[in-house]
Amino acid sequence: MFPARRVFGLVAAASVVTTLMLAPPLRAPAAAAAVPQVAAPATLATAETVARLSNGCSVSSRGIPSCGAYAGGAYNSNTDPGSWESWLSKQIGVRRTYFGPTGIDKAVATAKGDIANHRVPWVSFKAPYSWADMANGRGDAWAREIARKLATVDGPVWVAVHHEPENDGGDITRWTAMQARLGPILRSGGDNVAFTIILMGWHQFYGADKFRLENMWPRNTKVDIAGFDIYDEYGMTKNGSTVTKHKDFRGRYFEPLKAWSARTGVPWGLAETGFGEASVRDDPAIMTKTYKALVDNGGIAFSYFNTNLNSKLDWRLNSSLRQKAFRDLHRLSVTRSAGPPMCEGEEMVGVDASLSPELLCRLLGSTREVRSPVAAWVP
């Protein structure tokens, strides 16, 4: 039997006895017939329990925020992001890592380190067998080992198996069948593990029919989070020409994803994204604009690909221009770190507006002056 899980992200505030109700998220209306319904995270709280997220919002045991979005990403080759965080005002909120089928123990150890540093681990595994073999149960024992070991992590872990399958060839229906089989196994270890599916984004809205969400989505399987890998290709050379137009994240991706999420109840986020030097030189605020557009449309994660591995363009945050651009958006983001939200400090987007700033500051013992309902404390 796997260990029981406790609910993460809640702290005591015994000095107040009134009961509060957090506003429910706007991402879980009735499900479409073709896609399984996924319940939105619970958002009830009492005066004895207030959300631990740095924007005052509640968070589920699987790490899904009721409002706001984490910002972080992949760093070099699964490198510890401490040196990245050294020029930020706080830890990154989400960390992407990648492992082969034999990397389970390393993945678990890495996830435990992330939780200790207030990051939500978002882990990708490669499957040990073919999609067809996995769908037929050959990888069940492997998946059960992942579930059992991730259940020992003292915090939420997001897990995916074989992300970005669109360009890998083979029968994509076998990939879907694999996801349908693996989801229940990976979620069975404990209520801290979120089963995620990560796709490329463009194919789902503008590619072949077989890659559309309604055709790729596993039936009768609860998927906690849908991730998408969408980059701004401005400055990239494609087919002999330089791309001179920025990606329309809001209109072509985020708004359609918001509508899809509203139909299905499945939260979504950027599992990978990146901006080249030319992109940020042309628009220094483009990262902040993209993050705000993501939050406006219900996205819960902004995961930056801060590495040059397997890349057609150098996405690394290795210049003062791009470091400032990421630092500016990161200041607005949500983290799992404790602290009095909505008190004197930095601006933040995605704040739970149903709780007064005075009450939130009082719950967490802050005596600082409250500025406004859109201000939030940043560690």
pLDDT the model gives residue 312 = 87
pLDDT the model gives residue 54 = 86
Confidence of residue 355 (pLDDT cuts 50, 70, 90): low
Does 363 score more than 60 pLDDT? Answer: no
For residue 250, the SS3 value is helix
Does 40 score more than 90 pLDDT? Answer: no
Residue 351 falls inside a structural domain: no
Confidence of residue 351 (pLDDT cuts 50, 70, 90): low
**Cα dihedral sign for 338, 342, 348, 351?**
positive
Residue 340 falls inside a structural domain: no
pLDDT the model gives residue 198 = 98
Residue 1 falls inside a structural domain: no
Nearest to 95 by CA among 105, 113, 106: 113
Residue 196 falls inside a structural domain: yes
pLDDT the model gives residue 328 = 97
Q: What is the mean pLDDT of residues 98-124?
A: 97
What is the number of structural domains in the chain?
1
The two counts, helices (H) then strands (E), for the chain are 12, 14
pLDDT the model gives residue 373 = 29
Residue 343 falls inside a structural domain: no
Task: Determine the Cα–Cα distance for residues 230 and 228; give it in Å rounded to an integer.
Answer: 6
Does 12 score more than 90 pLDDT? Answer: no
Confidence of residue 341 (pLDDT cuts 50, 70, 90): very low
Structural domain containing residue 202: 10-330
pLDDT the model gives residue 353 = 55
53 versus 138: which is more confidently predicted? 138
Q: What is the mean pLDDT of residues 249-263?
A: 98
Here the CATH number for the domain that contains residue 48 is: 3.20.20.80
Residue 362 falls inside a structural domain: no
pLDDT the model gives residue 311 = 86
Confidence of residue 349 (pLDDT cuts 50, 70, 90): low
Residue 371 falls inside a structural domain: no
Confidence of residue 336 (pLDDT cuts 50, 70, 90): confident
Question: How buried is 24 (Cβ within 10 angstroms: 0-12 exposed, 13-18 middle, 19+ buried)?
Answer: middle
pLDDT the model gives residue 89 = 84
pLDDT in tens, 53-68: 888 888 999 999 999 9
pLDDT, the chain, mean: 82
Residue 43 falls inside a structural domain: yes
Task: Determine the Cα–Cα distance for residues 89 and 280; give it in Å rounded to an integer.
Answer: 21
pLDDT in tens, 259-280: 999 999 999 999 999 999 999 9
